[in-house]
Amino acid sequence: MDLSSIAAMFHLTGFALRRRLFGWQALASTAVALVPTLVALIAAGEIRSGNEQVPKPYELYGEFLAPVCLYCVLPFLSMLTMLPVVGSLYDRGAIGYLFTRPTPRWSLLLGLYKGGLLAMLPIMLVASVVPALVLMPLSHGIEFRFWLQRVAYLSAILWIGSAAYGALCMFLGVWSKKALLWALGLLIGWGVIAGSLTGPLREISLHRYLLGLMRNWLAVDNAWTGFFVPDRDPPSSVQAVLVLALGTLIFLAMAVRAMHKRDVL
């Protein structure tokens, strides 16, 4: 990789990071990330009022809010962050200018991907940390280190998922002019739904492996709602991480290939 490629990647990383993390563009992503906090605030009010039907704060965080992050926050935040990063360049025709530069297209794509991924990381922290701060004062008898461990593991799962789902959205943004529809179908249909139910699609759904990490790292056997379908052969943590990493690389490679084929006009 020459200096021009490194410089182009660096500038595009900064461009994507600024576009998706600062300014009004980040409002929608932040709103999605605050959904678990809203649920935590409502639950905290019920707990203070003495409602015994609400789970204890520590269990609520692991068995309800963590699945909310995985089923809702992760896919929608990936779409809201990654799709506009590429789509805006194609819509405005700016991608054609970038292609005239003496820089490999894969370095352009990687720069945009890195910027979008970096933009997602702090917003994911909002989804995992803030609800814990709301519920932690109400959790009597649970040591701080257990809370810290659960929050750290959930944050790690969301970051790993961001890399995989972000790469998929990057590919869709380059490959199709109707990337949002494809993303909804794949991230929600193939991901969340197929990955949670029994059937042949479950084995190849990235969501299944994120669920495996949640079960292994957060010690959550099922959601409070009972939505999880038992997995007869759940993946180990190592297997889940390897599959998610491989999926990330495959989607990025597909995005590079699509970038060479798509008409920029």
| Residue of 8 and 22 predicted with greater confidence | 22
Look up residue 171 and give its two tokens: 């590919």
Tokens found for residue 227: 């939505």
Average pLDDT for 133-145: 90
Any alpha helices (H) in 35-73, and if so which ranges?
35-48, 57-60, 66-68
188 near 74, Cβ under 8 Å? no
What's the pLDDT band for 5 if we cut at 50, 70, 90? low
Collapsed DSSP state (helix, strand, coil) of residue 30 = helix
The pLDDT tens digits for 28-53 are 899 999 999 999 999 999 999 988 88
Rg (CA), the chain: 20
* Residues 217, 222, 225: CA angle, nearest 5 degrees: 135
Q: Give CA–CA dist 174/221, Å, rounded.
A: 37
* Rounded-to-integer distance, Cα 123 and Cα 182, Å: 23
Contact 148, 49 (CB under 8 A): no
User: What tokens appear for 133 in the block?
Assistant: 């701060």
**212 near 237, Cβ under 8 Å?**
yes
Mean pLDDT of 212-240: 77
pLDDT in tens, 66-119: 989 998 999 999 999 998 887 776 666 666 656 666 677 778 888 889 998 999
pLDDT at 125 over 90: yes
Distance between alpha carbon 65 and the CA centroid of its chain, in Å?
15
Count up the domains in the chain and report the number: 1
What does the chain come to in residues?
Answer: 265
The number of beta carbons lying within 10 Å of the beta carbon of residue 27 is 10
- pTM score: 0.89
Domain of 186 in residue numbering reads as 3-261
